[in-house]
Structure 1
Amino acid sequence: MFQEPFLFAGSVRENVVLGLPLDDDAVSLALAASEAGFVDELPDGIDTVVGERGVGLSGGQRQRIALARALVRRPSLLLLDDTTSSLDPGTEARVLGNLRSLLTDTTVVAVASRPSTIALADEVLYLVDGEVAAHGTHDALMASNDAYRELMQAFDHDRETR
């Protein structure tokens, strides 16, 4: 799933199932896991029609619908490219917690730039110039790798000065 998800002109339901014969329970579970409760507040709920590319929805809402699309398929491998970049930190934490508990049999490869996202990973690969410079847990890298620690601290400093 990409940072900038693509939604088709159609209902929220159609954007989640993409033609698969899925029942409402499966769709509701995927939307709940992606913290897409806002769908219930749309004029026609899950049957609300959104414009092409998700016109009328915020970036975070589009990301959560696209994430539900990925989750409803119960993948064995899920690739996430800065998937929560448009979410506020609280929603992001809930989504990531849901993913951790829901995807117990799924390998998740995530590209992330937020330290809060990176900190939740079982294993972090720290890349420099396209090469793996270090790997381990976030805490282990913070303790053992000066460049990684400085990068994470720079993100925190940047966030504090905004």
Structure 2
Amino acid sequence: MHIIILADTHMPRMAKIWPPALLPYLERADHIVHAGDFNDRRVLASLQSFAPVSAVYGNTDGPDIKEILPEKQVVSFHGVTVGIAHGHGKGKTTAQRARDAFADESLDLLVYGHSHIPEHKTEEELVLFNPGSPTDKRRQEQFSFGELIIEEDSTWTIKHIYYSDKKG
């Protein structure tokens, strides 16, 4: 199973179309995970035209998105349990706020966004993954998103995909 992981797309303000470096990945995705900050409901609809989407809302999403998406979500792919949260709030780090949202749940992978900073680390057997942003790199050197590959036997790998130009 080929899953694309996104967060903080902030469209159409930060990009009017999907970056060319991201498009081939969306086109072959079996599923898409988005950790919030779409900014426009049409962005969700656009992603759904590529593959099924599991998503949560972020702090910059309006009522139109908050009425259709949860604040956090747990999904499972071939036995791999994935928690999704945006990670916004006050106090602590973004990763810690995301972890706290699932304090009573057993996860294999926690996907979060908010900071626009790509991160991939393991804490106490839990993999924490922030894909960064494919359209708004802020102070990062490159734009980024994630690619999660899950085999039918539940083995999986996850990595960042980086690129320098969101316009092609």
TM over 0.5: no
More strand by share: 2
More helix by share: 1
TM-score (norm 2): 0.25
More relative contact order in 1 or in 2 (CA 8 Å, sep 6+)?
Answer: 2
TM-score (norm 1): 0.25
Larger Rg: 1
